[in-house]
């Protein structure tokens, strides 16, 4: 399913999104969510960047070094599967 209205957030399978084990096809389907943005998204709204490992976190921090807005960058390996 595709939704384009914030009023439809209640239609998302939040149990699937929160699941750590998504081998079941329905859970897998429910977890496959994308946040698509049309034309632009304010960088200032990004608060946190989760990175898989320390090497990539260091690269991200280096890339953000001179940015006016610098969201938190942290290693969050458990977010990845």
46 and 74 housed in the same domain: yes
How many separate domains does the chain show?
2
Task: Give mean pLDDT, residues 50-69.
Answer: 95
Is there a single domain that holds both residue 4 and residue 18? yes
Q: From CA 64, how far away is CA 40, in angstroms rounded?
A: 19
Percent of the chain's residues with pLDDT above 70: 93
Residues 64 and 49 reside in one and the same domain: yes
Residue with the bigger pLDDT between 19 and 75: it is 75
Phi, psi of 43 (to 5 degrees): -55, -30
20: helix, coil or strand?
coil
Residue 14's domain spans which residues? 1-35
**46, 80: one domain:** yes
Residues 31, 43: one domain?
no
Query: What is d(CA 24, CA 13) in angstroms, rounded to the nearest whole number?
Result: 14
Asked whether residue 23 falls in the same domain as residue 49, the answer is no
Q: pLDDT tier at 25 (50, 70, 90 boundaries)?
A: confident
Q: What pLDDT is attached to residue 43?
A: 92
Question: Is 5 buried (19+), middle (13-18) or exposed (0-12) by CB count in 10 A?
Answer: exposed
Mean pLDDT on 54-66: 96
Q: Within this chain, do residues 26 and 63 fall inside the same structural domain, yes or no?
A: no
Mean pLDDT of the chain: 86
Rounded Cα distance, 10 and 14, in Å: 8
């Amino acid at each position: 399913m595709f939704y384009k209205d914030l009023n439809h957030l209640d239609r998302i399978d939040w149990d699937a999104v929160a699941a750590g084990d998504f081998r079941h096809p329905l859970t897998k389907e429910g977890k496959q969510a994308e946040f698509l943005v049309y034309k632009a998204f304010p960088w200032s709204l990004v608060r946190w960047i989760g990175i898989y490992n320390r090497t990539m976190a260091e690269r991200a921090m280096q890339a953000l070094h001179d940015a006016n807005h610098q969201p938190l960058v942290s290693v969050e390996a458990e977010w990845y599967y």
